[in-house]
Amino acid sequence: MDEPSYLDHAAGSPVLPEVVNAMVPALGLPGNPNSTHAAGRRARRMLEEARELIAARVGVQPSEVVFTSGGTESNNLAVLGSLGDPARPQLAISAVEHASVAAVVGRAGEVVRLPVNPEGHVLLHAAEQLVGAQTAVVSLLWVNNETGAIQPVVAAAELAHRHGALLHSDAVAALGHVEVDLSSNAIDLLSLSAHKVGGPVGIGALIVRRGVRLRPIGFGGGQEARLRSGTVPVALAVGFAAAVERACNRLEPEAARLRALRDRLIAELARLPEVRVNTVEPAGPAIVNATFVGTRADDLLLLLDEAGIEASTGSACSAGVHQPSEVLLAMGRSQADAAASLRFSFGPDTTAGDIERLVAVLPEAVARARRAFG
């Protein structure tokens, strides 16, 4: 049988060969970048070069890049670290945030949810009523990792600032797919993760713009500008920088290529009976979400897997059973529809052949999944 078609890049993209090549010299080195001996200084140089590369690609200063263990930690740090002023106990988050922002609910501060329309785009006029002098931070995904919806993050930053609040954006699913350039907007905090762009798992960054006051949420040696204690994994940082370089260098042609594949898939999905596409412009080029009415997503995933297509629901999985997507529920879908939805997400190795294969096997897989459910 042919190699499976991996259409789950939004969950994790394979490490690219150039990233491995960049990491190898750093992997073999001893040296904590905080040590003052020659090996430590060498590690520090590599780390700072990686920081400079990433900073340049997202339009910030190197001192504004705080390395973390990934998107989850960056999001936790951004949101929880913004709290602290007793006059601003409130977090304002969109109703479609990733769990690493949404799960903060009930653990800290008071939370308001900014509603979205049925396409998953945040309603800024509603946000205007909900954000106020009590809000510490507004958090908004740049590109939704389940549906691909692009949020109006630049306008949201202006809105947040009008109320004296910070704007945090989770750009984990945006990096490499849409232009992420903080030199031309007022976003205060930005989360990134390496393994969604062909870098290694276990490293990410929080961009903290100069002048933004953030409190650490973990304590120790005070690394990373006292915001994130713990020895920074230099080899992972080097791999992260190589992946960001590659993703940003090829952004435009790659986005155009993936957008064409996405639109081809969307057109085919729209022709299938009782299939609703949940990805609506403005949306990133690499994600398609659809509801296969009358199926259980887990059945369909299994059938597609047997046919050599690796996809996902995109939503949280607990004990191996997928919960209906909170994102789709927030977009007004029923429980049944939210539990009948799949995400297909693309990356550098996704080809037209993968999409044709998916399109060829879907009608039969959906029919079988409907019979299994019905």
Active site residues: 317
Length of the chain: 374
Q: For residue 168, what are the CA distances in angstroms to 53, 84, 320? A: 22, 16, 31
CB closer to ligand PMP out of 95 and 365? 95
At 102, which amino acid appears? A
By the rule CB under 6 A, 189 interacts with ligand PMP:
no
Residues 170, 143: Cα–Cα separation, whole Å: 8
By the rule CB under 6 A, 345 interacts with ligand PMP:
no
By the rule CB under 6 A, 170 interacts with ligand PMP:
yes
Do 304 and 359 form a contact (C-beta atoms < 8 A)?
no
CB closer to ligand PMP out of 172 and 207? 172
Minimum CB–partner distance for residue 326 and ligand PMP (Å):
13
Residues 338, 344: Cα–Cα separation, whole Å: 15
Do 5 and 310 form a contact (C-beta atoms < 8 A)?
yes
324: which DSSP letter? P
13, 76, 90, 193: which one binds ligand PMP (CB under 6 A): 193
5, 13, 72, 169: which one binds ligand PMP (CB under 6 A): 72
Dmax (CA) of the chain: 68
By the rule CB under 6 A, 98 interacts with ligand PMP:
yes
Q: Select the span of 66-74, 120-128, 297-305, 348-356 touching ligand PMP (CB under 6 A).
A: 66-74
By the rule CB under 6 A, 68 interacts with ligand PMP:
no
Torsion 329-334-335-337 (CA) sign: negative
By the rule CB under 6 A, 70 interacts with ligand PMP:
yes
Closest residue to ligand PMP, judged by C-beta, is: 71
CB closer to ligand PMP out of 260 and 317? 317
Neighbours of 149 (CB within 10 A): 30
Q: Select the span of 54-62, 107-115, 166-174, 218-226 touching ligand PMP (CB under 6 A).
A: 166-174
CB closer to ligand PMP out of 26 and 79? 79
By the rule CB under 6 A, 287 interacts with ligand PMP:
no
Per residue, the 3-state secondary structure of 126-195, as one string, reads HHHHHCCCCEEEEEEECECCCCCEECCHHHHHHHHHHCCCEEEEECCCCCCCCCCCHHHCCCCEEEEEHH
Size of the site for ligand PMP (CB under 6 A): 15
Residues 102, 57: Cα–Cα separation, whole Å: 28
5, 90, 94, 100: which one binds ligand PMP (CB under 6 A): 100
Minimum CB–partner distance for residue 94 and ligand PMP (Å):
12
Q: Which 129-148 residues touch ligand PMP, going by CB under 6 A?
A: 141, 145
By the rule CB under 6 A, 200 interacts with ligand PMP:
no
Q: What is the CA radius of gyration of the chain?
A: 21
By the rule CB under 6 A, 204 interacts with ligand PMP:
yes
Q: Select the span of 30-38, 64-72, 85-93, 210-218 touching ligand PMP (CB under 6 A).
A: 64-72
114, 173, 182, 197: which one binds ligand PMP (CB under 6 A): 173
CB closer to ligand PMP out of 172 and 300? 172
Minimum CB–partner distance for residue 76 and ligand PMP (Å):
9
Helix, strand, coil abundance in the chain, percent, nearest 5: 40, 20, 40
Minimum CB–partner distance for residue 167 and ligand PMP (Å):
16
In terms of DSSP bridges, do strands 287-292 and 341-345 run parallel, antiparallel, or are they unpaired?
antiparallel
249: which DSSP letter? H
CB closer to ligand PMP out of 64 and 97? 97
Question: In what helix (H) or strand (E) does residue 366 lie, and over which residues does it extend?
Answer: helix 352-373
Applying CB under 6 A, the residues found at the interface with ligand PMP are 10, 70-72, 75, 98, 100, 141, 145, 170, 172-173, 193, 195, 204
